[in-house]
């Protein structure tokens, strides 16, 4: 990786790790204080909110990053469009509150959706100037901003859960955090947006593909909520929602922040497709090395994770977590394509990939959920992900002037090592009896993680050495580790001298 991409990726990964650490701590409290049905009610409301908010999610931050000549006037236009769309979405949510409660057969949804409508409108006023952190490669400031946003939700929602002990803690936690985030965005960024629409037509021309992309991502991530909520009820939806969140953690902790950091760097290489292709393969190598074992590890340790993190009442989440984790591996492998397509000015190509993915998913959900409930939804996600992966690889290598064979070196060692890790853990990994408590599973979970990590690292290093030590993610990781060790030794030496 180039220095800018490596530094940006490291900052974003660190931000996401700390953010997810807060999220994990928050979840440990919330799943013990609230019932699955509480999470299901909020998931029902969030599905409708996400549906309407996608019309306000123009992807204008990507437009501003991709356009190196963007001026203050472009930022003002983007902010104005976000405000208008968020306010319209808020009004529409209020109008749809009653019909949504009828669709789900859940009258408690009406006040929940109305409060979420206010939160949705408020979010549109967030200072668009914070996009400059990424555009100017100021990843340390982006890191602090993302961490503060997560911290605001944590310090509000968890105390409310102790006090209220129902879904209202999640509702009011989101509302208060949205207000705090908007205020904070103006505190950390001196840019002051003004209402203006001078560049709206040009920006929306590029953004139309990003809007379609947002709509497809919504269908991919939220379609199951509508189907499960309708056919299986809030408790089943709550279990599926939490299972999907845990299964996606490796991707959101490692891959999403890396992709967030590489987009501006890719944009600077867009004029040299050959250099962009080399950088894409380099980043893909790093993503596969770090994220594939993390996702496979979730599938391996699913019974122990559910027992320790969620508790015995969430036992139905185990098979869902295992299936969704395998679907997450395919998502990890194709996630890097989005930044490359945006940098090349080809958002339509990625939208077509997502269109195919969503089409397969909707058909699979319609067939499997009425028959198998939430577990059928998990299988639908796995089937759709497996079918979309080769389509994604074919189009990205063609756009970058690569070959399908060029994808093999970055991927085969992490995939083979993760498969060995999974098989070893299934055969010889620790297990706990069905009657075990959460505390009984803590040490077996730690042992499972230690065994899986040892096998993965050992096998990957052996394969790397057997391949002649090719220049790749392993080389970069060893270089980073060597630099860190030397830095520690230097500080210890300085301390002894002092």
DSSP 26-75: HHHHHHHHS-HHHHHHHHHHHHHHHHHHTTT---HHHHHHH-TT--HHHH
- Here the tokens at position 186 are 């103006």
| Separation of CA 18 from chain center | 14
Around 32, how many Cα atoms within 13 Å sit in the side-chain half-sphere? 13
Low-confidence ranges of the chain (pLDDT < 50): 1-11
Integer Cα distance of 172 and 161 in angstroms:
10
Residue 431, C-beta contacts closer than 8 angstroms, at least 6 positions apart: 303, 444
Q: Are the C-beta atoms of 93 and 52 separated by less than 8 Å?
A: yes
| Cα atoms in the Cβ-side hemisphere of radius 13 Å centred on 240 | 31
Contact 421, 296 (CB under 8 A): yes
Calpha distance 57→369 (Å, rounded)? 29
Structure tokens at 239: 């279990």
Q: Are 265 and 137 in contact (CB under 8 A)?
A: yes
Give the H or E element holding residue 379. Answer: helix 347-400
Contact between residue 182 and residue 139 where contact means Cβ atoms under 8 Å apart:
no
Per-residue model confidence (pLDDT) at position 256: 67
Euclidean distance between CA atoms 305 and 357, whole angstroms? 29
Q: Which residues contact 426 (CB under 8 A, 6 or more apart)?
A: 300
DSSP three-state, residue 136: coil
R_g over Cα of the chain: 23
pLDDT at 11: 47
Question: Which two tokens mark 188?
Answer: 């950390």
Residue 485's CB: how many other CB atoms inside 10 A? 10
**Nearest Cα to Cα of residue 86 among 60, 62, 115, 119:** 119
- pLDDT confidence of residue 38: 75
Given this model, what pLDDT does residue 154 score?
Answer: 73
Q: What's the chain's length in residues? A: 498
Specify the pLDDT at position 203: 64
- 219 close to 360: Cβ distance less than 8 angstroms: no
- CA–CA separation, 167 and 30 (whole Å): 10
In angstroms, the CA 209 to CA 128 distance is 20
pLDDT at 386: 93
Instruction: For the chain, report the end-to-end CA distance as a whole number of angstroms.
Output: 37
Instruction: With beta carbons less than 8 A apart as the criterion, state whether 425 and 450 touch.
Output: no
**CA atoms of 99 and 111, how far apart (whole Å):** 13
CA dist 201 and 198 (Å) reads 8
Distance separating alpha carbons of residues 51 and 219, to the nearest angstrom: 8
Detail the DSSP E strand segments found in 369-429. none
Whole-number Å distance between alpha carbons of 389 and 335: 10
């Amino acid at each position: 990786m180039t220095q800018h991409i490596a530094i940006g990726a490291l900052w974003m990964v660190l931000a996401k790790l700390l953010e997810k650490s807060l999220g994990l701590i928050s979840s440990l409290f919330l799943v013990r204080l609230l019932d699955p049905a509480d999470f299901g009610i909020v998931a029902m409301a969030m599905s409708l909110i996400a549906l309407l908010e996608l019309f306000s999610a123009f992807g204008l931050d990507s437009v501003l990053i991709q356009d190196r000549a963007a001026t203050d006037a472009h930022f003002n236009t983007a902010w104005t469009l976000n405000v208008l769309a968020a306010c319209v979405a808020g009004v529409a949510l209020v109008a749809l509150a009653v019909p949504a409660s009828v669709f789900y057969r859940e009258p408690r949804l009406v006040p929940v959706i109305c409060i979420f409508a206010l939160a949705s409108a408020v979010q549109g006023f967030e200072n668009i100037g914070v996009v400059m952190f990424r555009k100017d490669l100021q990843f340390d400031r982006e890191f602090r901003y993302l961490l503060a946003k997560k911290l605001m939700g944590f310090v509000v929602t968890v105390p409310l859960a102790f006090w209220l002990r129902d879904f209202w803690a999640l509702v009011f936690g989101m509302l208060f955090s949205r207000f705090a985030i908007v205020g904070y965005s103006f505190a950390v960024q001196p840019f002051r947006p003004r209402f203006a629409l001078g560049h709206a037509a040009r920006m929306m021309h590029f953004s139309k593909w990003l809007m379609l992309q947002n709509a497809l991502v919504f269908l991919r991530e939220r379609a199951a909520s509508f189907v499960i909520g309708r056919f299986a009820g809030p408790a089943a939806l709550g279990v599926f929602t939490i299972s999907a969140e845990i299964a996606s953690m490796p991707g959101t902790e490692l891959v999403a922040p890396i992709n967030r950091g590489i987009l501006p760097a890719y944009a600077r290489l867009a004029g040299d497709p050959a250099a962009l292709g080399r950088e894409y393969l380099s980043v893909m190598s790093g993503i596969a090395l770090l994220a594939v074992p993390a996702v496979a590890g979730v599938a391996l340790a699913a019974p122990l994770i559910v027992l320790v993190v969620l508790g015995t009442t969430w036992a139905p989440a185990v098979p869902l977590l295992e299936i969704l984790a395998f679907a997450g591996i395919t998502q990890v492998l194709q996630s890097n394509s989005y930044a490359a397509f945006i940098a090349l000015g080809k958002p339509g190509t990625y939208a077509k990939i997502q269109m195919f993915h969503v089409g397969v998913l909707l058909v699979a959900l319609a067939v499997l959920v009425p028959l198998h409930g939430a577990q059928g939804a998990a299988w639908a996600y796995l089937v759709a992900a497996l079918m979309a992966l080769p389509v994604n690889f074919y189009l990205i290598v063609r756009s970058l002037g690569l070959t399908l064979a060029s994808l093999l070196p970055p991927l085969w060692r992490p995939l083979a090592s993760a498969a060995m890790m999974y098989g070893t853990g299934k055969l010889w990994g620790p297990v706990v009896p069905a009657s075990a408590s959460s505390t009984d599973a803590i040490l077996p979970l730690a042992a499972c993680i230690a065994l899986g990590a040892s096998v993965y690292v050992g096998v990957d290093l052996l394969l790397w050495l057997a391949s002649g030590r090719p220049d790749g993610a392993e080389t970069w990781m060893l270089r980073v580790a060597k630099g860190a060790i030397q830095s520690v030794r230097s500080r210890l030496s300085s301390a002894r001298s002092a």
